[in-house]
Amino acid sequence: MKKTVSIILIICALGLCACTKTKTDAPSGMKLASTVPPCDYYMYVPNDWTVSGQDGITAAYVPTLENSSDKPNVTCARYTVTNSAVFDLPDDKGGKSDGVIFAENYWAGYVSELQSYLPGYALISGPSATLLNGLPAVRCKYTATLSGVSYNFDMVICIKERMFAYMLTYTAPSDKAETYSGQFENIISEFVFQTGTLG
């Protein structure tokens, strides 16, 4: 009897191992982009995108026929949170989770920087509560003008372990932003923290 139970447990364990998502288990039609250390997450992008990360920032862009630097792209960066005000909680949280409030606070500090160096900055929507790999996050959409070109930005901010801010950002010329927004939705939904829920 003990032998039978042991064999069943071994078979179950092997089955679970075979189903566990790892960095090599890229979703169908996608490839791993987060290959530049230090990366503690898996970011997948469409197979036809070009990966070009550096200095701890994961980046990938849509290869286009035109020779242009205005290519729609997605970046993911992790920053250490140094402003303790990010973790201030109001007396009335309005039903929001701590994680959402932390991300909103981080956005409040970040947006003041954006306004100072991005001409024509204008908020489209957000910050609105969302999830990134099951963790509370916020999403913000805005526009700005760089070198005479209007861009749309779509950003997800997640504060993890009360230490790190993860910023996943889709940037595209405004006239191309809608074309690849569905692919950004897929990138968000397939994003996995290495220490988060794999699945």
Amino acid in position 187: I
Given this model, what pLDDT does residue 39 score? 83
- Mind listing the pLDDT tens digit for each residue in 79-138? 999 999 999 999 899 999 999 999 999 999 999 889 988 889 999 999 999 999 999 999
Q: What is the mean pLDDT of residues 174-193?
A: 95
**Cβ 197 vs Cβ 99: under 8 Å:** no
Distances (CA, A) of 54 to 35, 59, 63, 76: 9, 8, 18, 11
Residues comprising the chain, all counted: 199
pTM: 0.83
Its CATH class, for the domain covering 21-193, is: alpha beta
CA–CA dist 37, 57 (Å, integer): 8
pLDDT surpassing 50 at residue 7: no
Per-residue pLDDT of 32-75, as tens digits, reads 998 766 688 999 999 999 998 777 789 999 987 565 667 899 99
